């Protein structure tokens, strides 16, 4: 049933070598031979078996991107960037979801070990520095969106610290001095870096850091609600909240509204990521935009560069962010904290 290069060769009256040549444009072939081959291919409905090709060439031209969760629309533009860059350079991007499980992540990485793919990009990882460095020694691999402290491998992220710094500075500029932060206790350097930015912005403006002004949960929606409850239970609640993600910001806003707060007046809320939700929400959520498309493009371009040059760069690339102002942040002058 399966038609192979041999069948095509026979039908075209040439050798398999010639068929291979027209298939790959790898060497000059006479016009008539080429025509015969192409006709035979069409007639037989032949498509080459890449397992044979890939085995022979020791490459698949596929890059695997491992996503922690497909629940996050956030990855969407990153993936588009990856795909476009890859396609231009003759590669395909395949995706898989690790569900933030170390085991699943390793299982997916088997694709790399088994030579099913040429390289892997981890958008968030459960692996530790040592494992990562070990992988990087043997394979082409990169981190995207989430850096790992101490790991020496190609990493592309937004400038997390800078974004948080500017977001908090924006809140301060709007007159806020009591600024809380909704962060995570998850092992995540982006959380860490954003906390750093938050602290620096406070410091630079002479606002003392208060431990009770920082709430740490997970990325899960519910923790926006919990954070809000925590802050509003404080004797001196914040007038503005900087959240580590738009999902958490939306959750805070939802809870605040249901408690009768006027967003942008009684309480200001700033998110991070600029996912569609932050724009769709009522009110629109002020946030820090990540250059997702560029992040995706960049990591693929760098990775393929590494493959082509047999290099193993450990560049840590930080791309610029942008503050997007919407309605969820208002002037402190208007603020009348309940």
Partner DNA sequence: GTGAAAGCGCTAACAC
Partner DNA sequence: GTGTTAGCGCTTTCAC
Residue 25 within binding range of DNA, rule CB under 7 A: no
Indicate which of its own copies, DNA, none lies near residue 70 (CB less than 5 to 8 Å, by partner kind): its own copies
The Cα angle at residue 262 between residues 259 and 266, in degrees rounded to 5: 95
Nearest approach, Cβ of residue 19 and DNA (Å): 7
**Rg (Cα) of the chain, in Å, rounded?**
26
Contact range with its own copies by CB under 8 A, out of 22-30, 232-240, 275-283, 293-301:
275-283
Residue 80 within binding range of its own copies, rule CB under 8 A: yes
CA distance 271 to 53: 48
CA distance 299 to 313: 12
Query: b vs e for 207-227, b when ≥16 Cβ sit within 10 Å of the residue's Cβ?
Result: beeeeebbbbbebeeebbbbb
What is the four-CA torsion angle of 165, 169, 170, 176, rounded to 10 degrees? 130
CB 78 within 8 A of CB 144: yes
Whichever of 97 and 323 has its CB closer to its own copies, that residue is 97
Q: Give the Cβ contact number of residue 26 at 10 Å.
A: 10
The residues near 257 (Cβ < 8 Å, ≥ 6 apart) are 263
Residue 280 within binding range of its own copies, rule CB under 8 A: yes
CA distance 59 to 244: 39
Indicate which of its own copies, DNA, none lies near residue 29 (CB less than 5 to 8 Å, by partner kind): DNA
Whichever of 17 and 276 has its CB closer to DNA, that residue is 17
Binding map of its own copies across residues 212-241, x = CB under 8 A, - = no contact? ---------x--------------------
Binds DNA by CB under 7 A, chosen from 35, 39, 49, 71: 49
Nearest approach, Cβ of residue 139 and DNA (Å): 15
Residue 25 within binding range of its own copies, rule CB under 8 A: no
CA distance 291 to 77: 9
Contact range with DNA by CB under 7 A, out of 26-34, 155-163, 180-188, 251-259:
26-34
Indicate which of its own copies, DNA, none lies near residue 307 (CB less than 5 to 8 Å, by partner kind): none
Residue 181, exposed/middle/buried by CB under 10 A (0-12, 13-18, 19+)? buried
CA distance 201 to 21: 62
Give the binding site for DNA (CB under 7 A).
2, 4-6, 13-21, 23-24, 26-30, 32-34, 48-49, 51-53, 55-58
Give the binding site for its own copies (CB under 8 A).
2, 45, 47-52, 54-55, 58, 60, 62, 64, 69-73, 75-76, 79-80, 83, 92-97, 99, 104, 107-108, 110-111, 113-116, 138, 221, 247, 250-251, 253-254, 257-258, 276-277, 280-282
């Amino acid at each position: 049933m399966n038609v192979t290069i041999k069948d095509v060769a026979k039908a075209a009256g040439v050798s398999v070598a010639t068929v291979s040549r027209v298939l790959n444009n790898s060497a000059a072939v006479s016009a008539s031979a080429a025509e015969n081959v192409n006709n035979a291919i069409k007639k037989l409905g032949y498509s080459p078996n890449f397992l044979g090709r890939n085995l022979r060439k020791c490459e698949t031209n596929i890059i695997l991107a491992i996503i922690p969760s497909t629940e996050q629309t956030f990855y969407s533009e990153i993936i588009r960037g990856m795909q476009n860059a890859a396609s231009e350079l003759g590669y395909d991007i395949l995706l898989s979801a690790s569900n933030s499980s170390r085991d699943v992540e390793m299982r997916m990485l088997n694709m790399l070990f088994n030579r099913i793919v040429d390289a892997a990009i981890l958008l968030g990882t459960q692996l530790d520095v040592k494992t990562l460095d070990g992988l990087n020694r043997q394979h082409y691999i990169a981190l995207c969106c989430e850096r790992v402290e101490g790991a020496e491998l190609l990493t592309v992220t937004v400038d997390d610290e800078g974004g948080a710094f500017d977001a908090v500075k924006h809140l301060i500029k709007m007159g806020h001095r009591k600024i809380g932060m909704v962060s995570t206790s998850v092992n995540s350097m982006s959380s860490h870096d954003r906390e750093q930015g938050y602290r620096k912005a406070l410091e630079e403006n002479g606002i003392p850091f208060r431990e009770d002004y920082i709430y740490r949960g997970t990325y899960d929606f519910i923790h926006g609600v919990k954070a809000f409850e925590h802050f509003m239970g404080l004797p001196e609640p914040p007038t503005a909240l900087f959240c580590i993600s738009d999902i958490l910001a939306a959750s805070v806003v939802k809870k605040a509204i249901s408690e009768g707060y006027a967003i942008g007046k009684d309480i200001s809320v700033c998110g991070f990521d600029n996912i569609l939700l932050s724009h769709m929400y009522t009110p629109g959520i002020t946030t820090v935009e990540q250059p997702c498309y560029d992040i995706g493009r960049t990591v693929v371009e760098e990775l393929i560069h590494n493959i082509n040059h047999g290099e193993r760069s450990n560049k840590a690339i930080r791309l610029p962010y942008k503050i997007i102002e919407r309605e969820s942040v208002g002037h402190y002058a208007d603020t009348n904290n309940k």
